[in-house]
Chains A and B, each alone.
Chain A
Amino acid sequence: MMIRVVLPVHLRTLAKSDREVQVDVDGQVTQRSVLDALEARYPVLRGTMRDHVTQRRRAFVRFFACEEDLSNEQPDASLPEAVATGKEPFMVVGAMAGG
Protein backbone atom coordinates (compact mmCIF):
# COMPACT_ATOMS: atom_id res chain seq x y z
CA MET A 1 0.00 0.00 0.00
CA MET A 2 1.28 3.43 -0.82
CA ILE A 3 1.25 5.57 2.30
CA ARG A 4 1.50 9.34 2.15
CA VAL A 5 3.90 10.87 4.67
CA VAL A 6 4.36 14.58 5.34
CA LEU A 7 7.79 15.55 6.66
CA PRO A 8 8.85 18.65 8.64
CA VAL A 9 11.16 21.03 6.87
CA HIS A 10 14.43 19.90 8.46
CA LEU A 11 13.78 16.27 7.58
CA ARG A 12 12.80 17.26 4.04
CA THR A 13 16.14 19.00 3.72
CA LEU A 14 17.99 15.94 4.96
CA ALA A 15 16.04 13.59 2.73
CA LYS A 16 16.22 15.99 -0.23
CA SER A 17 12.52 15.34 -0.63
CA ASP A 18 9.29 17.20 -1.18
CA ARG A 19 6.98 18.05 1.70
CA GLU A 20 5.00 14.90 1.05
CA VAL A 21 6.55 11.57 0.12
CA GLN A 22 5.04 8.18 -0.54
CA VAL A 23 6.29 4.90 0.85
CA ASP A 24 5.21 1.38 0.06
CA VAL A 25 4.17 -0.62 3.13
CA ASP A 26 3.58 -4.34 3.03
CA GLY A 27 1.09 -5.79 5.48
CA GLN A 28 -0.34 -3.97 8.46
CA VAL A 29 -0.03 -0.19 8.35
CA THR A 30 1.37 0.91 11.70
CA GLN A 31 3.70 3.60 12.98
CA ARG A 32 6.49 1.07 12.96
CA SER A 33 5.86 -0.23 9.45
CA VAL A 34 5.50 3.29 8.02
CA LEU A 35 8.68 4.51 9.74
CA ASP A 36 10.54 1.37 8.68
CA ALA A 37 9.54 2.01 5.08
CA LEU A 38 10.38 5.68 5.36
CA GLU A 39 13.84 4.96 6.77
CA ALA A 40 14.45 2.29 4.13
CA ARG A 41 13.72 4.79 1.38
CA TYR A 42 15.60 7.64 3.11
CA PRO A 43 18.36 6.12 5.26
CA VAL A 44 19.49 9.59 6.30
CA LEU A 45 16.35 9.81 8.45
CA ARG A 46 17.42 6.91 10.66
CA GLY A 47 17.82 8.14 14.20
CA THR A 48 16.02 11.43 13.56
CA MET A 49 12.49 10.34 14.47
CA ARG A 50 13.18 7.47 16.85
CA ASP A 51 16.23 6.35 18.74
CA HIS A 52 18.60 4.07 16.84
CA VAL A 53 18.87 1.59 19.67
CA THR A 54 15.64 1.74 21.67
CA GLN A 55 13.42 2.65 18.68
CA ARG A 56 11.53 4.99 21.00
CA ARG A 57 10.06 8.14 19.45
CA ARG A 58 12.25 11.15 20.00
CA ALA A 59 10.64 13.38 22.60
CA PHE A 60 10.07 16.39 20.32
CA VAL A 61 8.88 14.42 17.31
CA ARG A 62 5.13 13.96 17.09
CA PHE A 63 2.93 11.91 14.78
CA PHE A 64 -0.46 13.11 13.57
CA ALA A 65 -3.08 11.82 11.13
CA CYS A 66 -6.74 12.57 10.53
CA GLU A 67 -6.52 15.47 13.00
CA GLU A 68 -5.50 13.11 15.79
CA ASP A 69 -2.29 13.05 17.81
CA LEU A 70 -1.03 9.49 17.45
CA SER A 71 2.33 10.14 19.09
CA ASN A 72 1.69 8.00 22.12
CA GLU A 73 -0.06 5.14 20.35
CA GLN A 74 1.67 1.78 20.41
CA PRO A 75 4.14 1.45 17.50
CA ASP A 76 2.40 -1.70 16.29
CA ALA A 77 -1.16 -0.37 16.54
CA SER A 78 -2.94 0.04 13.23
CA LEU A 79 -3.03 3.54 11.82
CA PRO A 80 -6.40 4.98 10.76
CA GLU A 81 -8.01 3.46 7.69
CA ALA A 82 -7.75 6.78 5.85
CA VAL A 83 -3.94 6.62 6.20
CA ALA A 84 -3.83 3.01 5.07
CA THR A 85 -5.85 3.79 1.97
CA GLY A 86 -3.83 6.90 1.11
CA LYS A 87 -6.73 9.25 1.61
CA GLU A 88 -4.97 11.08 4.45
CA PRO A 89 -1.24 11.54 5.11
CA PHE A 90 0.71 10.40 8.13
CA MET A 91 2.32 13.56 9.44
CA VAL A 92 5.71 13.76 11.16
CA VAL A 93 5.86 17.00 13.11
CA GLY A 94 8.58 18.77 15.07
CA ALA A 95 7.01 19.84 18.37
CA MET A 96 6.66 23.54 19.01
CA ALA A 97 9.41 24.04 21.55
CA GLY A 98 12.72 25.72 21.97
CA GLY A 99 14.14 28.77 20.25
Chain B
Amino acid sequence: MSGIRVLVGTRKGAFILTSDGKREQWDVDGPHFGGWEIYHVKGSPVDPNRLYASQSSGWFGQIMQRSDDAGKTWEAVGNKFAYEGEVGEHLFYDGTPRPWEFKRVWHLEPSPTDLNTVYAGVEDAALFRSTDGGQTWNEMAGLRTHPTGPFWAPGAGGMCLHTILIDPRNRDRMYIAISAAGVFGTDDGGKTWRPMNRGLVSEGIPHPEAEVGHCVHRIAMHPSRPDVLFMQKHWDVMRSDNGGDSWHEVSGNLPTDFGFPIDVHAHEPETIYVVPIKSDSEHFPPDGKLRVFRSRTGGNEWEALTKGLPQRNCYVNVLRDAFTVDQLDPCGLYFGTSGGQVYASANAGDSWEPIVRDLPPVVSVEVQTLP
Protein backbone atom coordinates (compact mmCIF):
# COMPACT_ATOMS: atom_id res chain seq x y z
CA MET B 1 0.00 0.00 0.00
CA SER B 2 1.19 3.50 -0.74
CA GLY B 3 2.18 5.83 2.04
CA ILE B 4 2.13 9.52 2.85
CA ARG B 5 4.81 11.60 4.49
CA VAL B 6 3.95 15.17 5.47
CA LEU B 7 6.89 17.50 6.10
CA VAL B 8 6.01 20.35 8.43
CA GLY B 9 8.16 23.40 9.08
CA THR B 10 7.33 25.44 12.17
CA ARG B 11 8.68 28.39 14.10
CA LYS B 12 10.36 26.02 16.54
CA GLY B 13 11.36 22.93 14.59
CA ALA B 14 10.37 20.43 11.91
CA PHE B 15 7.92 17.57 12.22
CA ILE B 16 7.38 14.53 10.01
CA LEU B 17 3.88 13.06 9.90
CA THR B 18 3.43 9.63 8.31
CA SER B 19 0.47 7.48 7.40
CA ASP B 20 -0.48 4.71 5.04
CA GLY B 21 -2.57 5.42 1.97
CA LYS B 22 -5.79 5.46 3.95
CA ARG B 23 -4.60 8.65 5.67
CA GLU B 24 -6.49 7.87 8.85
CA GLN B 25 -3.82 7.03 11.43
CA TRP B 26 -0.79 9.25 11.75
CA ASP B 27 2.58 9.03 13.44
CA VAL B 28 4.14 12.33 14.50
CA ASP B 29 7.93 12.51 14.63
CA GLY B 30 9.79 15.55 15.93
CA PRO B 31 10.79 18.15 16.68
CA HIS B 32 13.79 18.02 14.42
CA PHE B 33 16.07 21.04 14.95
CA GLY B 34 14.09 22.04 18.03
CA GLY B 35 14.07 25.74 18.75
CA TRP B 36 15.00 26.76 15.20
CA GLU B 37 12.74 28.27 12.58
CA ILE B 38 12.15 25.80 9.79
CA TYR B 39 10.89 27.74 6.83
CA HIS B 40 10.72 24.76 4.49
CA VAL B 41 11.34 21.04 4.20
CA LYS B 42 10.97 19.35 0.84
CA GLY B 43 11.77 15.95 -0.61
CA SER B 44 13.40 15.11 -3.91
CA PRO B 45 11.09 13.72 -6.59
CA VAL B 46 14.04 11.56 -7.70
CA ASP B 47 14.51 9.82 -4.34
CA PRO B 48 11.90 10.46 -1.65
CA ASN B 49 14.41 9.61 1.07
CA ARG B 50 16.40 12.72 0.12
CA LEU B 51 15.04 15.66 2.06
CA TYR B 52 16.28 19.23 2.23
CA ALA B 53 15.48 21.57 5.11
CA SER B 54 16.00 25.28 5.67
CA GLN B 55 16.87 25.89 9.32
CA SER B 56 17.41 29.42 10.57
CA SER B 57 17.41 31.62 13.63
CA GLY B 58 17.68 35.29 14.38
CA TRP B 59 20.73 34.50 16.49
CA PHE B 60 22.77 32.07 14.43
CA GLY B 61 21.60 32.64 10.88
CA GLN B 62 21.05 30.07 8.17
CA ILE B 63 21.77 26.35 8.32
CA MET B 64 20.92 23.93 5.53
CA GLN B 65 20.17 20.32 6.35
CA ARG B 66 19.99 17.25 4.16
CA SER B 67 18.74 13.77 4.91
CA ASP B 68 19.18 10.60 2.86
CA ASP B 69 16.99 8.43 5.06
CA ALA B 70 13.69 10.31 5.05
CA GLY B 71 14.54 12.43 8.05
CA LYS B 72 15.82 9.79 10.45
CA THR B 73 19.23 11.45 10.37
CA TRP B 74 20.37 14.79 9.03
CA GLU B 75 23.62 16.28 7.83
CA ALA B 76 24.32 20.00 7.86
CA VAL B 77 25.45 21.03 4.38
CA GLY B 78 26.58 24.33 2.92
CA ASN B 79 25.11 27.55 4.28
CA LYS B 80 27.04 30.16 2.34
CA PHE B 81 24.68 32.23 0.19
CA ALA B 82 26.82 34.96 -1.32
CA TYR B 83 25.34 37.24 -3.95
CA GLU B 84 27.25 37.29 -7.22
CA GLY B 85 29.25 40.36 -8.17
CA GLU B 86 28.14 43.84 -7.31
CA VAL B 87 25.44 43.46 -4.68
CA GLY B 88 23.50 46.57 -5.63
CA GLU B 89 20.51 48.09 -3.91
CA HIS B 90 16.76 47.66 -3.77
CA LEU B 91 14.04 49.81 -2.25
CA PHE B 92 13.40 49.57 1.47
CA TYR B 93 9.98 50.04 3.12
CA ASP B 94 10.51 53.78 3.31
CA GLY B 95 11.45 54.06 -0.35
CA THR B 96 15.15 54.57 0.26
CA PRO B 97 17.79 52.37 -1.39
CA ARG B 98 19.14 49.52 0.71
CA PRO B 99 21.90 47.03 -0.16
CA TRP B 100 20.85 43.45 -0.77
CA GLU B 101 21.55 41.40 2.36
CA PHE B 102 21.03 37.65 2.68
CA LYS B 103 18.70 36.78 5.56
CA ARG B 104 17.28 33.29 5.12
CA VAL B 105 16.09 30.59 2.75
CA TRP B 106 12.33 30.64 2.37
CA HIS B 107 11.74 27.92 -0.19
CA LEU B 108 13.54 24.87 -1.51
CA GLU B 109 12.72 23.26 -4.83
CA PRO B 110 14.56 20.01 -5.53
CA SER B 111 15.08 19.24 -9.19
CA PRO B 112 12.53 16.84 -10.66
CA THR B 113 15.29 15.01 -12.53
CA ASP B 114 18.58 15.31 -10.65
CA LEU B 115 19.01 14.17 -7.07
CA ASN B 116 21.74 16.66 -6.23
CA THR B 117 20.27 19.74 -7.86
CA VAL B 118 18.11 21.94 -5.68
CA TYR B 119 16.97 25.55 -5.99
CA ALA B 120 16.64 27.93 -3.06
CA GLY B 121 14.54 31.07 -2.93
CA VAL B 122 15.95 33.49 -0.40
CA GLU B 123 15.41 36.80 1.37
CA ASP B 124 16.59 39.38 0.24
CA ALA B 125 15.09 38.11 -2.96
CA ALA B 126 17.38 35.99 -5.09
CA LEU B 127 17.53 32.53 -6.56
CA PHE B 128 20.34 30.12 -5.72
CA ARG B 129 21.12 26.66 -7.05
CA SER B 130 23.17 23.80 -5.73
CA THR B 131 24.26 20.92 -7.95
CA ASP B 132 26.08 19.00 -5.23
CA GLY B 133 23.29 18.17 -2.85
CA GLY B 134 23.41 21.45 -1.00
CA GLN B 135 27.12 21.57 -0.21
CA THR B 136 27.69 24.71 -2.27
CA TRP B 137 25.26 27.33 -3.54
CA ASN B 138 25.59 29.67 -6.48
CA GLU B 139 23.35 32.58 -7.25
CA MET B 140 21.46 32.62 -10.54
CA ALA B 141 22.20 36.29 -10.70
CA GLY B 142 20.33 37.08 -13.90
CA LEU B 143 17.21 37.43 -11.79
CA ARG B 144 18.42 39.83 -9.11
CA THR B 145 20.34 41.91 -11.63
CA HIS B 146 17.28 42.40 -13.81
CA PRO B 147 16.98 46.14 -14.59
CA THR B 148 13.90 46.35 -12.37
CA GLY B 149 15.83 45.01 -9.34
CA PRO B 150 16.54 48.44 -7.84
CA PHE B 151 12.76 48.99 -7.67
CA TRP B 152 11.87 45.79 -5.81
CA ALA B 153 10.71 46.34 -2.25
CA PRO B 154 9.93 44.07 0.68
CA GLY B 155 6.44 42.95 1.62
CA ALA B 156 5.49 42.91 5.28
CA GLY B 157 7.25 39.57 5.73
CA GLY B 158 10.46 40.67 4.06
CA MET B 159 11.64 40.73 0.47
CA CYS B 160 11.44 37.03 -0.14
CA LEU B 161 11.57 34.75 -3.15
CA HIS B 162 9.00 32.21 -1.99
CA THR B 163 7.79 30.27 -5.02
CA ILE B 164 9.71 28.30 -7.65
CA LEU B 165 7.84 26.45 -10.40
CA ILE B 166 9.57 24.35 -13.05
CA ASP B 167 7.75 23.61 -16.30
CA PRO B 168 7.65 19.80 -16.58
CA ARG B 169 7.74 19.99 -20.40
CA ASN B 170 10.78 22.19 -20.54
CA ARG B 171 13.15 22.35 -17.58
CA ASP B 172 14.66 25.59 -18.87
CA ARG B 173 11.34 27.30 -18.29
CA MET B 174 10.79 28.39 -14.72
CA TYR B 175 8.64 30.82 -12.82
CA ILE B 176 9.46 32.45 -9.52
CA ALA B 177 7.51 34.85 -7.34
CA ILE B 178 8.76 37.56 -5.01
CA SER B 179 7.01 39.62 -2.36
CA ALA B 180 6.78 42.41 -3.29
CA ALA B 181 8.12 42.44 -6.83
CA GLY B 182 5.90 39.93 -8.58
CA VAL B 183 6.30 37.00 -10.96
CA PHE B 184 9.33 36.51 -13.18
CA GLY B 185 9.89 33.86 -15.81
CA THR B 186 12.87 32.41 -17.64
CA ASP B 187 13.07 30.34 -20.81
CA ASP B 188 16.80 29.73 -20.73
CA GLY B 189 17.33 27.91 -17.46
CA GLY B 190 17.68 31.04 -15.40
CA LYS B 191 20.17 33.12 -17.37
CA THR B 192 17.65 35.80 -18.24
CA TRP B 193 14.31 36.69 -16.69
CA ARG B 194 11.35 38.87 -17.52
CA PRO B 195 8.57 40.24 -15.32
CA MET B 196 5.22 38.51 -15.89
CA ASN B 197 2.78 40.76 -14.11
CA ARG B 198 0.56 42.12 -16.86
CA GLY B 199 -3.01 42.29 -15.67
CA LEU B 200 -2.16 42.59 -11.99
CA VAL B 201 -3.63 45.64 -10.31
CA SER B 202 -2.40 46.52 -6.84
CA GLU B 203 -3.92 49.49 -5.10
CA GLY B 204 -1.52 51.09 -2.70
CA ILE B 205 1.55 51.00 -4.89
CA PRO B 206 2.52 54.12 -6.79
CA HIS B 207 1.43 52.73 -10.15
CA PRO B 208 -1.26 50.06 -9.63
CA GLU B 209 -0.51 48.37 -12.97
CA ALA B 210 3.28 48.65 -12.74
CA GLU B 211 5.56 46.11 -14.36
CA VAL B 212 6.94 45.16 -10.92
CA GLY B 213 6.05 45.91 -7.31
CA HIS B 214 3.13 43.53 -6.82
CA CYS B 215 2.89 41.51 -3.64
CA VAL B 216 2.34 38.08 -5.15
CA HIS B 217 1.81 35.61 -2.31
CA ARG B 218 1.84 32.35 -4.24
CA ILE B 219 1.57 30.88 -7.71
CA ALA B 220 0.61 27.31 -8.62
CA MET B 221 0.60 25.12 -11.71
CA HIS B 222 -0.83 21.72 -12.63
CA PRO B 223 1.88 19.64 -14.30
CA SER B 224 -0.44 18.52 -17.11
CA ARG B 225 -1.15 22.14 -18.12
CA PRO B 226 1.93 24.19 -17.42
CA ASP B 227 0.68 27.19 -19.38
CA VAL B 228 -2.13 27.70 -16.88
CA LEU B 229 -0.99 29.44 -13.72
CA PHE B 230 -2.96 30.41 -10.66
CA MET B 231 -2.04 33.17 -8.25
CA GLN B 232 -3.01 34.32 -4.79
CA LYS B 233 -1.95 37.93 -4.76
CA HIS B 234 -1.99 40.07 -1.60
CA TRP B 235 -5.53 40.89 -2.66
CA ASP B 236 -7.04 39.11 -5.69
CA VAL B 237 -7.00 35.54 -6.94
CA MET B 238 -5.67 35.55 -10.48
CA ARG B 239 -5.27 33.19 -13.42
CA SER B 240 -3.09 33.11 -16.52
CA ASP B 241 -3.84 30.96 -19.55
CA ASN B 242 -0.74 31.91 -21.49
CA GLY B 243 2.18 30.98 -19.28
CA GLY B 244 2.13 34.18 -17.28
CA ASP B 245 2.08 36.62 -20.21
CA SER B 246 -1.13 38.08 -18.83
CA TRP B 247 -3.41 37.53 -15.85
CA HIS B 248 -7.09 37.99 -15.15
CA GLU B 249 -8.97 37.97 -11.88
CA VAL B 250 -10.96 34.90 -10.82
CA SER B 251 -11.85 35.89 -7.26
CA GLY B 252 -15.54 35.55 -8.11
CA ASN B 253 -17.74 34.89 -5.09
CA LEU B 254 -14.99 34.48 -2.48
CA PRO B 255 -15.88 36.17 0.82
CA THR B 256 -12.52 37.96 0.65
CA ASP B 257 -9.82 37.61 -1.94
CA PHE B 258 -6.93 38.25 0.44
CA GLY B 259 -4.94 35.16 1.38
CA PHE B 260 -1.65 33.38 1.10
CA PRO B 261 -1.69 29.84 -0.37
CA ILE B 262 -3.20 28.57 -3.60
CA ASP B 263 -2.92 25.04 -4.93
CA VAL B 264 -4.27 22.74 -7.63
CA HIS B 265 -5.93 19.32 -7.26
CA ALA B 266 -3.55 16.53 -8.27
CA HIS B 267 -5.85 15.05 -10.92
CA GLU B 268 -8.23 17.87 -11.85
CA PRO B 269 -6.32 20.82 -13.32
CA GLU B 270 -9.34 23.12 -13.08
CA THR B 271 -9.91 22.39 -9.39
CA ILE B 272 -8.11 24.91 -7.20
CA TYR B 273 -8.03 25.81 -3.52
CA VAL B 274 -7.51 28.99 -1.50
CA VAL B 275 -7.89 29.94 2.15
CA PRO B 276 -9.46 33.41 2.34
CA ILE B 277 -8.17 35.69 5.08
CA LYS B 278 -10.10 38.73 6.26
CA SER B 279 -7.68 41.44 5.20
CA ASP B 280 -4.09 42.59 5.02
CA SER B 281 -4.49 44.18 8.43
CA GLU B 282 -6.38 41.28 10.06
CA HIS B 283 -4.64 38.02 9.20
CA PHE B 284 -7.35 35.59 10.26
CA PRO B 285 -10.38 34.01 8.58
CA PRO B 286 -13.51 36.12 8.20
CA ASP B 287 -16.17 35.60 10.87
CA GLY B 288 -13.92 33.30 12.90
CA LYS B 289 -14.64 30.44 10.47
CA LEU B 290 -11.75 28.48 9.01
CA ARG B 291 -12.85 27.68 5.47
CA VAL B 292 -10.97 26.33 2.51
CA PHE B 293 -12.58 27.43 -0.73
CA ARG B 294 -12.61 25.17 -3.76
CA SER B 295 -13.33 26.07 -7.35
CA ARG B 296 -13.95 23.28 -9.83
CA THR B 297 -14.07 25.76 -12.68
CA GLY B 298 -10.59 27.19 -12.46
CA GLY B 299 -11.84 30.18 -10.49
CA ASN B 300 -14.78 32.57 -10.24
CA GLU B 301 -17.19 29.99 -8.78
CA TRP B 302 -16.14 28.94 -5.30
CA GLU B 303 -17.60 26.68 -2.63
CA ALA B 304 -16.74 26.72 1.07
CA LEU B 305 -15.27 23.50 2.51
CA THR B 306 -16.03 23.48 6.21
CA LYS B 307 -16.66 19.94 7.41
CA GLY B 308 -14.24 19.18 10.21
CA LEU B 309 -12.81 22.70 10.32
CA PRO B 310 -13.59 25.08 13.22
CA GLN B 311 -16.53 27.30 12.35
CA ARG B 312 -16.45 29.58 15.35
CA ASN B 313 -13.83 31.52 17.28
CA CYS B 314 -11.04 30.57 14.90
CA TYR B 315 -8.42 33.25 14.31
CA VAL B 316 -5.46 31.44 12.79
CA ASN B 317 -3.64 32.16 9.55
CA VAL B 318 -2.43 29.80 6.82
CA LEU B 319 0.84 30.90 5.27
CA ARG B 320 1.81 30.67 1.61
CA ASP B 321 3.92 27.52 1.81
CA ALA B 322 1.60 25.76 4.25
CA PHE B 323 -0.91 24.15 1.86
CA THR B 324 -0.23 21.17 -0.36
CA VAL B 325 -1.80 18.21 -2.16
CA ASP B 326 -0.79 14.56 -2.44
CA GLN B 327 -0.97 12.37 -5.55
CA LEU B 328 -3.39 9.71 -4.33
CA ASP B 329 -6.91 9.20 -5.60
CA PRO B 330 -8.96 10.69 -4.07
CA CYS B 331 -6.57 13.58 -3.79
CA GLY B 332 -5.39 14.40 -0.27
CA LEU B 333 -5.01 17.99 0.95
CA TYR B 334 -2.95 19.25 3.87
CA PHE B 335 -2.50 22.62 5.49
CA GLY B 336 -0.96 24.03 8.63
CA THR B 337 -1.95 27.05 10.67
CA SER B 338 -0.36 29.72 12.79
CA GLY B 339 -2.11 28.01 15.71
CA GLY B 340 -0.08 24.85 15.25
CA GLN B 341 -2.76 22.63 13.72
CA VAL B 342 -2.14 20.50 10.65
CA TYR B 343 -5.38 19.51 8.93
CA ALA B 344 -5.76 16.77 6.34
CA SER B 345 -8.49 15.85 3.93
CA ALA B 346 -8.45 12.44 2.25
CA ASN B 347 -11.30 13.36 -0.08
CA ALA B 348 -10.22 16.46 -1.97
CA GLY B 349 -11.50 18.80 0.70
CA ASP B 350 -15.00 17.44 1.35
CA SER B 351 -14.06 16.79 4.98
CA TRP B 352 -11.10 17.47 7.23
CA GLU B 353 -9.43 16.00 10.27
CA PRO B 354 -6.60 17.45 12.33
CA ILE B 355 -3.49 15.28 12.17
CA VAL B 356 -1.98 17.19 15.06
CA ARG B 357 -3.27 20.21 16.96
CA ASP B 358 -0.58 21.76 19.08
CA LEU B 359 2.59 22.28 17.13
CA PRO B 360 4.40 25.63 17.11
CA PRO B 361 3.10 28.05 14.46
CA VAL B 362 3.28 26.27 11.10
CA VAL B 363 5.28 27.94 8.35
CA SER B 364 5.28 25.27 5.65
CA VAL B 365 3.68 21.95 4.76
CA GLU B 366 4.84 19.62 2.01
CA VAL B 367 3.71 16.09 1.26
CA GLN B 368 5.38 13.09 -0.32
CA THR B 369 3.31 10.33 -1.89
CA LEU B 370 5.30 7.15 -1.38
CA PRO B 371 5.09 3.95 -3.42
Contact = CB atoms under 8 A, between A and B. Distances in A.
Contacts of B82: 52-53
B58 A48 contact: no
B35 interface: yes
Interface stretch (B60-68, B351-359, B363-371): B60-68
A82 interface: no
A46 B80 contact: yes
A58 to B, nearest CB: 6
A49 B59 CA distance: 8
Interface stretch (A20-28, A30-38, A68-76, A90-98): A90-98
Chain B facing A: main interface SS: loop
Contacts of A51: 61
A46 B58 contact: no
Given A47-B62, A48-B63, A52-B82, A10 B57 contact: yes
Contacts of B35: 10
Contacts of A44: 63, 76
A61 interface: yes
B98 to A, nearest CB: 15
A79 interface: no
B76 A58 contact: no
A61 to B, nearest CB: 6
A44 B58 CA distance: 17
B59 A94 contact: yes
Interface string B66-102: 0000000000100111100000000000000000000
A60 B80 contact: no
Contacts of B61: 47-48, 51, 58
B92 to A, nearest CB: 17
A58 B59 CA distance: 7
Interface residues of B, number: 14
Most chain B CB within 10 A, of A48, A60, A95, A98, is at A48
B266 to A, nearest CB: 37
Main secondary structure of the interface of A (DSSP, over half): loop
Contacts of B79: 46-48, 52
B36 A10 contact: yes
A34 B93 CA distance: 38
Contact of B60 (A10, A52, A53, A97): A10
A65 to B, nearest CB: 19
A31 B61 CA distance: 19
B63 A14 contact: yes
B80 A58 contact: no
B306 to A, nearest CB: 32
A11 B61 CA distance: 11
A98 B35 CA distance: 12
Contacts of A49: 60
A10 B36 CA distance: 9
Contacts of A97: 58-59
B17 to A, nearest CB: 23
A97 B61 CA distance: 14
A61 B60 contact: yes
A48 B60 contact: yes
Interface in B26-48: 35-36
A46 B82 CA distance: 13
Nearest to B76: A44
A52 to B, nearest CB: 5
3 nearest A-B pairs in the assembled complex, by CB-CB distance:
A48-B60, A60-B59, A94-B59
17 contacts: A10-B35, A10-B57, A10-B60, A14-B63, A14-B76, A44-B76, A47-B80, A48-B63, A52-B79, A52-B81, A52-B82, A58-B60, A60-B59, A61-B60, A94-B60, A97-B58, A97-B59
Given A14-B76, A47-B62, 10 more contacts: A10-B60, A46-B79, A47-B79, A48-B60, A49-B60, A52-B81, A58-B60, A60-B58, A60-B59, A97-B59
